[in-house]
Amino acid sequence: MKFTEGGVTAAKGFEAAGAEAQIKYKNRMDMALVYSKVPCVSAGTFTSNVVKAAPVLWDKNIVDTKKTAQAVVVNSGIANACTGKQGMDICKKEAECAGRLLGIPADAVLVASTGVIGMQIPEDRICAGIEKLAAAKTDTLKAGNDAARAIMTTDTVFKEVAVEIELSGKKVTLGGMCKGSGMIHPNMCTMLGFVTTDAAISKELLVKAVKKDVIDSFNMISVDGDTSTNDTLLVLANGMAKNPVITEENEDYKVFCEALHAVTTTLAKKMAGDGEGATALFETKVIHADTKQNARILAKSVICSSLTKAAIFGHDANWGRILCALGYSGVNFDPENVDLYFEAEGKKMAIFSKGVACDYSEEEASAILSCKEVTALVDMHMGEESATAWGCDLSYDYVKINADYRS
Element (H, E) at 296: helix 292-303
User: Please, are residues 19 and 31 in contact by the beta-carbon 8 Å criterion?
Assistant: yes
d(CA 231, CA 228): 6
Task: Using alpha carbons, select from 190, 219, 193 the residue that is nearest to residue 52.
Answer: 190
Strand partners, 159: 178
Give the number of C-alpha atoms closer than 13 A to the C-alpha of residue 85, restricted to the C-beta side.
0
Task: Using alpha carbons, select from 33, 123, 18, 128 the residue that is nearest to residue 80.
Answer: 123
The string over 42-53, giving b where at least 16 C-beta atoms fall within 10 Å of a residue's C-beta and e elsewhere, is bbbbbbebeebb
Beta strands in 188-295 (DSSP E): 192-197, 232-237, 281-289
Strand partners, 388: 285
| DSSP per position, 66-108 | -S-EEEEEEEEEE---S-HHHHHHHHHHHHHHHHHHHTS-GGG
9 given a catalytic annotation: no
Strand partners, 72: 34, 110
- Of 173, 190, 229, 388, catalytic: 190
Task: Using alpha carbons, select from 315, 258, 327, 260 the residue that is nearest to residue 282.
Answer: 315
| DSSP per position, 306-349 | HHHHHHHHTT---HHHHHHHHHTSS----GGG-EEEEEETTEEE
| DSSP per position, 97-108 | HHHHHHTS-GGG
Question: What contacts 84, CB < 8 A, 6 or more positions away?
Answer: none
Active site residues: 190
